[in-house]
Structure formats: structure tokens, C-alpha cells
């Protein structure tokens, strides 16, 4: 059940824990008589994982993930306490590469720690224009590098694959989007701009399909080898008869 010489494919689902849940902090800006609060909402990611074992304790992992980040901007009129909200989502794709190190806890249970990087792709800008609120989120770049760290545990069976539970931290090296909001009231426009960092913490749920250990194939010999072998055998047989 070790990882050595095993190439396996898995699927994963990762609920994203908003950063403001951990820090208990909401990004707030006050402009004129309006307060703009940008909230990270529960989000998710899912995708495919490819893992290659090199030794019993070291593996390399990659794959591709779909990520949906959800946000809500609450706009409060400080004079009337009227609240209006605008919800939006940012879609991205990630190609991570991680180096994993394992510690064997029992015959079937392993603990691993991983560290690596990811290339994040953002296909488009996002905009909404509903009633008196206009919103536009502009990507900083269509590709952004990120740092990844992971800690988890997995239960390895002999025939039914691997079951994995863990947590990951994903942090882009730069802000990913700049989001602007504009509210019009009594023909007066009030604007606020936020920068989205895009960092998140996840719970990782994975399943890896069962694969057999890759065995080295014997080299295929060409026809010249077999011709030489037949000639040598024929020569040896003729020498015995003589």
C-alpha cells in the first residue's frame, strides 16, 4: 500500500472557508453617506488529481481544479439605514503542483504534508447592472501564480483505493480582481473600489482509484538479435554433429 512506483488518479471536492470567517473581518469603505461592506461567502472547488509516487515517503501531485469564489457587497445608507446587496461570483481554474511527504501512522493510515505552487487562470471580467447598483470586477491578469500548503490524512485499502481528508491554504502572490460598486440615488452617484486578494482555506475531500504497482517492462529485442541467436544455435548443433 505504499506510494512507490504508483501512478494514480483521484477526484476531489473542496469547500472554501471564507477568510473573513477566520479573521472575523469584513472589508468596509465609507463614501459620502454610504457604507460598502464586501463579504467573502462560502464557495467551493472541485477537480481531478494526478499523483505519482517516487519512493515510499515522497510523491508528486498535480491536476486541474474549477474554483468558484462567491461574494456579497452590502450597501448601507447611513442616513436611512436602508440596506441593499449585490451578489457576484468569480470563476477560476487552477493547475497545482505539490511535493508530498508521508508519515506512516498504522498499516492503513498515513499522514502527509505538502507544499508547492499553482498557476491560476481567470477567464473573464464580471459585471452586473441591476436597478440602481452597478458592479464591475476586473481581473488583474488572466494568469496569476499562487502558493499552496496542505496537511492531511488518508486511509489506504488494498483493493478499493485511497480515502483522503485534509486542509489546504491557497494564497495568490498578487491581488486577483479589482471590484467597483456604484449606487445612484437622487441622480447622485457614489462609488467604492475593493481589491480581491483571493486567498482561501479549504477542507479537502478526495478519493484515489486503486492502481497496481508499475512494473518495468523487459526490453523488446529486435529481429537481428533473434537471427544471431539462430545462427549461433545452428553453428553449435553442426559442431556437435561433426
Range of the domain at 68: 7-241
Residue 186: phi, psi to the nearest 5?
55, 40
- What pLDDT is stored for residue 57 in this prediction? 87
C-alpha cell at position 33: 453617506
Q: Say what the pLDDT of residue 176 is.
A: 94
Count of C-beta atoms within a 10 Å radius of residue 58: 14
Within-domain flag for 1? no
Q: What is the DSSP string of 34-55?
A: EEEEEEEEEEEEEEEEEEEESS
Are 168 and 204 in contact by the 8 Å Cβ rule? The answer is: yes
On whether residue 2 sits in a domain, the answer given is no
- Give, for 167, the enclosing helix (H) or strand (E): strand 162-172
175 within domain boundaries = yes
In a domain, residue 172? The reply is yes
Using an 8 Å Cβ cutoff, are 208 and 159 in contact? no
- DSSP line for 60-88: EEEEEEEEEEEEEEEEEETTT--EEEEEE
Residue 15 lies in a domain: yes
pLDDT at 23: 53
Residues 6+ apart with CB under 8 A from 132: 84, 183, 184, 185
Is 40 a domain residue?
A: yes
The answer to whether residue 148 is domain-embedded is yes
Instruction: Label residues 172-192 b or e (16+ Cβ within 10 Å = b).
Output: beebbbebebbbebeeeebeb
Per-residue pLDDT of the chain (242 residues; tens, 9 = 90+): 556 678 899 999 999 987 655 555 678 999 888 999 998 888 999 999 999 988 888 999 999 999 999 999 999 999 888 999 989 999 999 999 999 999 999 989 999 999 999 999 999 999 988 888 999 999 999 999 999 999 999 999 888 889 999 999 999 999 999 999 999 887 888 999 999 888 899 999 999 997 765 555 555 556 677 677 777 777 777 777 66
**Percent helix, percent strand, percent coil in the chain, to nearest 5:** 10, 65, 25
Give φ, ψ of 221 to 5 degrees. Answer: -85, 145
Check which CATH number belongs to the domain holding 100 and give it.
Answer: 2.40.160.20
Closest CA to 18 of 59, 71, 95: 71
Domain count, the chain: 1
pLDDT given for residue 144 in this prediction: 96
Looking at residue 230, its pLDDT comes to: 78
- At residue 74, the pLDDT reads 93
Residue 112 lies in a domain: yes
Determine the 3-state secondary structure of 220 from DSSP.
coil
Amino acid at each position: 500500500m505504499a506510494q512507490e512506483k504508483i501512478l494514480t488518479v483521484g477526484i476531489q471536492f473542496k469547500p472554501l472557508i471564507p477568510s473573513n470567517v477566520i479573521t472575523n473581518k469584513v472589508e468596509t469603505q465609507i463614501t459620502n453617506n454610504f457604507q460598502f461592506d464586501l463579504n467573502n461567502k462560502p464557495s467551493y472547488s472541485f477537480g481531478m488529481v494526478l499523483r505519482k509516487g517516487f519512493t515510499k515517503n515522497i510523491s508528486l501531485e498535480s491536476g486541474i481544479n474549477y474554483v468558484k469564489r462567491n461574494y456579497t457587497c452590502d450597501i448601507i445608507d447611513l442616513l436611512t439605514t436602508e440596506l441593499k446587496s449585490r451578489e457576484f461570483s468569480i470563476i477560476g481554474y487552477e493547475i497545482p503542483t505539490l511535493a508530498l511527504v508521508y508519515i506512516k501512522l498504522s498499516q492503513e493510515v498515513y499522514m502527509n504534508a505538502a507544499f508547492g505552487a499553482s498557476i491560476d487562470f481567470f477567464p473573464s471580467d464580471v459585471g452586473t447592472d441591476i436597478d440602481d447598483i452597478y458592479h464591475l470586477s476586473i481581473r488583474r491578469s488572466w494568469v496569476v501564480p499562487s502558493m499552496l500548503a496542505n496537511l492531511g490524512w488518508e486511509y489506504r485499502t488494498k483493493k478499493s483505493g485511497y480515502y483522503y481528508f485534509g486542509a489546504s491554504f491557497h494564497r495568490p502572490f498578487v491581488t486577483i480582481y479589482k471590484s467597483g460598486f456604484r449606487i445612484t440615488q437622487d441622480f447622485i452617484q457614489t462609488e467604492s473600489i475593493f481589491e480581491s486578494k483571493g486567498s482561501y482555506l479549504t477542507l479537502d475531500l478526495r478519493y484515489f482509484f486503486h492502481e497496481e504497482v508499475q512494473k518495468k517492462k523487459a526490453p523488446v529485442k529486435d529481429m537481428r538479435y533473434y537471427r544471431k541467436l539462430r545462427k549461433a544455435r545452428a553453428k553449435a548443433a553442426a559442431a556437435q554433429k561433426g
